[in-house]
Structure 1
Amino acid sequence: MNSKLLFCALFFASIGLCAQDKKWSVEANYPIIDEDGLNGVIDLGVKYRFVNLGIIQLGAGLNGSFFADRQHFYFDDNLEFDNKWKRLLLQPTVFGELNLPGISRLKPSVGVGYSVLLDEYDRKIVDSGYNESDSWGAFNANLGLSYDLTNRFFVKIQYDYLNHRQKWLAEADYENNVYRYETRGKSLNVFKAGIGFRF
């Protein structure tokens, strides 16, 4: 038992000694997306700053956001509709974080990357239903602003622009009337606000 306590104490002491330059940070945010019906649940991220050029630090990060929606209602007292929609957004990015002279607590940042979106639909109508999943990618650019509350804790806001360029075409035939649906891409906007910890 004493050896386990000693190991834990040495482990946390070594983290504290090796983390004086605070190259790593973790964050928890509340995400908002401009997709109708999807509600933000949580966004978690980790960042590593690998180059310090004085006024700017360069790094890489990974964020994961989770969104969900559910529509459950009855129609004419005997028809039940239950629709569930879940989305996982994975965002690997490279970023630059500015160290402004005289305003060291305020840190603007800009980043670019390629995001992956994983959608899952679960639809039930009366006694029948189906499950469908889809994934797609999008170019991602973001602007952020963090403010250091202490030398370790900070608050931040961030705006992400996702541009989806995939083209798809669908046709539906309803009683010999053929309808064509086509999209050439779309953009999504994600806003995040949260807290973080540097180590």
Structure 2
Amino acid sequence: MNSKLLFCALFLVTFSLFAQDKKWSIEANYPITDEDQLNGVLDVGVKYRFVDLGIVQLGAGLGTALFSDRENYIYDSNIELDYKWKRILVQPTVFAEFSIPGLAKLKPSAGVGYSYLYDDIDHKQAEVGYNETDSWGAFNANLGLSYDLTNRFFVKIQYDYLNHRQRWLINADGPNSYRYETKWNTMNVFKAGVGFRF
């Protein structure tokens, strides 16, 4: 474990010595969502700034977040239910990062993209289990704010708004009659973390 940490530290120092333009950055965040069942695990991403217009830098990024939930309980006195839910969120975006005159360490940002969501749900009830998966795309818009601790390291917060269409299986006209209905659904994600520019 110590050798892996030493390797990572040497890797970052090497990049900081040879990369002076700081067009790249990597980030690690803790994500929180407004969906009650899902707990944030980790959000990581990489960004590249390809246009510098002075007061604003334009770039593209790719991030991924993991959310999970697990419940295990007994109902009706003797029936055990075990439920595991994982959601993976992949977010390619384009963004603008702004420089504020007189506040060089503070950098607001705004971005848009089209995100990919993947759900994996395992149910187990009284020794009988099944798995269901689903995936869909979502429009993504975000607002962020970073603060430079040094010329390389920074802390940041970000809000992501996702709007997507999702299919729901509903009972139509009786116990054995079902149909899918498509509805618009939103997901709000709040992130706080650290980053490194190189």
**Could you tell me how far 1:176 is from its partner in structure 2?**
4.5
Q: How does 1:69-80 map to 2 (within 5 A)?
A: 69-80=69-80
Displaced runs of 4 or more, over 6 A: 11-14
Go from structure 1 to structure 2 and tell me whether the alpha carbon gap of 1:132 and 1:177 turns closer, same or farther (over 3 Å shift): closer
**Could you tell me how far 1:100 is from its partner in structure 2?**
1.1
- The percentage of counterpart residues that share the same residue type is 66
Q: Gaps (5+ residues) in structure 2?
A: 1-10
**Could you tell me how far 1:99 is from its partner in structure 2?**
1.0
Aligned position for 1:196: 195
Aligned position for 2:153: 153
Q: Secondary structure at the match of 1:165?
A: strand
**Could you tell me how far 1:84 is from its partner in structure 2?**
0.5
CA distance in 2, matches of 1:128, 1:33: 30
Aligned position for 2:120: 120
Go from structure 1 to structure 2 and tell me whether the alpha carbon gap of 1:47 and 1:12 turns closer, same or farther (over 3 Å shift): closer
**Could you tell me how far 1:18 is from its partner in structure 2?**
3.6
Aligned position for 1:162: 162
Asked which structure has the greater CA Rg, the reply is 1
Aligned position for 1:139: 139
Go from structure 1 to structure 2 and tell me whether the alpha carbon gap of 1:75 and 1:56 turns closer, same or farther (over 3 Å shift): same
How large is the Cα RMSD of the aligned pairs?
2.2
CA distance in 2, matches of 1:49, 1:140: 19
Q: Gaps (5+ residues) in structure 1?
A: 1-10
Go from structure 1 to structure 2 and tell me whether the alpha carbon gap of 1:169 and 1:43 turns closer, same or farther (over 3 Å shift): closer
Amino acid at match of 2:110: V
Aligned position for 1:185: 184
Aligned length: 189
Contact 2:64 2:88 in 1 (8 A): yes
CA distance in 1, matches of 2:172, 2:126: 23
Go from structure 1 to structure 2 and tell me whether the alpha carbon gap of 1:12 and 1:47 turns closer, same or farther (over 3 Å shift): closer
CA distance in 1, matches of 2:175, 2:20: 70
